[in-house]
Structures are given as structure tokens and as C-alpha cells.
């Protein structure tokens, strides 16, 4: 297994992003995640995008991007938001998401981010379990594009602890 730093517009990333969008449609019955994302959001030191390869085949992604209170979506200064965490079904259950999550946290901490934040939904219980078991706690208030959605769940982790 190899985990690489790549750009968000990398062809293998875009393939997996399309797959995760279809998973959102299956789970939520909607048109996928509408959060506006741009490749530049994930460029160090303001973010990072990771791609996992197994024998050269793309199997997982995960990223973080800087968010601030000025973003007007209820973030706090110093936030690092997790985006596009995804492991293909055939590669699940091997601890890959946990490995990627730890790498994202380490990188965000090194970049001076104070808090890791994420939004997920009630139709993703395995994601909620991953985050809770990795010391994430429910956010005091929701943030992001889906902050007004009933099924949205927001979690935070202090990176300074």
C-alpha cells in the first residue's frame, strides 16, 4: 500500500470522487455532495490531498483544507476541514481510513491548524464510528454547506491536545 500526496484534479482522485458521489446518491437519494471544492484549496500549506494505491490501483482518498471564520459557514479561525474521505468497498476493513485520517491530522497540525472539523451524515454510520473512535466529538454548532440539514452531523477534534 502506498499513500501519495497528489492534486485534487489528479485523474485517479477524480475517479474515486465520482465513486463517492455515487455512494452519496445511494445513501441519501440526492445529487451528491454540493460543497464547492477547488484544487487550490488542498495545496500545502493550506491543505493536503492524499491518494492510496494498492498495487498501483487507486483505493482511497482523504484531504483537509483550511477554513476560517471569514468563510461564513460557521467555521472557526484555525480550522482544518476533512474532505473526500473514501475507501473503495474492496479495500475496506484494513484500517486504511484510520491511517489516512492520522496522516491528515499530523499534516494539519504541522501547518499550524488548531482544530480538525468534518461533516458527515446519519446514513454513514461507519464514518461516524471511525471519527468517534478517533477522539472526534460532536461539534458545539454545525458548520459547512450542510449545517442546516437534519441528517448532517458535525464533529471536531482539538489538534493542540
What is the reported pTM?
A: 0.94
Distance from the first to the final alpha carbon of the chain: 30
| 95: DSSP letter | S
Q: Which residues are 62's β-sheet partners? A: 50
Q: What pLDDT, in 10s, does the model give residues 96-136? A: 999 999 999 999 999 999 999 999 999 999 999 999 999 99
82 with 116: CB under 8 angstroms? yes
List of the chain residues with pLDDT < 70? none
The pLDDT score that the predictor gives to residue 68 is 85
Give the domains, in start order, of the chain with CATH numbers. 2-113 (3.40.630.30)
- The C-alpha atoms of residue 136 and residue 124 are separated, in whole angstroms, by 15
The pLDDT score that the predictor gives to residue 130 is 98
- The C-alpha atoms of residue 7 and residue 132 are separated, in whole angstroms, by 28
The pLDDT score that the predictor gives to residue 8 is 97
The pLDDT score that the predictor gives to residue 32 is 79
The pLDDT score that the predictor gives to residue 36 is 87
Amino acid at each position: 500500500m502506498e499513500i501519495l500526496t497528489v492534486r485534487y484534479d489528479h485523474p485517479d482522485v477524480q475517479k474515486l470522487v465520482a465513486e463517492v458521489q455515487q455512494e452519496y446518491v445511494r445513501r441519501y437519494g440526492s445529487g451528491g455532495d454540493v460543497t464547492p471544492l477547488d484544487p487550490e484549496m488542498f495545496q500545502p500549506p493550506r491543505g493536503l490531498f492524499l491518494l492510496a494505491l494498492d498495487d498501483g490501483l487507486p483505493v482511497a482518498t482523504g484531504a483537509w483544507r483550511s477554513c476560517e471564520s471569514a468563510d461564513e459557514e460557521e467555521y472557526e479561525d484555525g480550522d482544518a476541514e476533512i474532505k473526500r474521505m473514501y475507501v473503495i468497498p474492496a479495500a475496506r476493513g484494513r484500517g486504511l481510513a484510520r491511517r489516512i485520517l492520522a496522516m491528515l491530522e499530523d499534516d494539519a497540525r504541522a501547518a499550524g491548524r488548531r482544530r480538525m472539523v468534518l461533516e458527515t451524515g446519519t446514513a454513514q454510520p461507519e464514518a461516524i464510528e471511525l471519527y468517534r473512535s478517533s477522539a472526534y466529538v460532536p461539534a458545539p454548532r454545525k458548520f459547512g454547506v450542510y449545517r442546516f440539514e437534519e441528517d448532517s452531523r458535525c464533529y471536531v477534534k482539538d489538534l493542540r491536545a
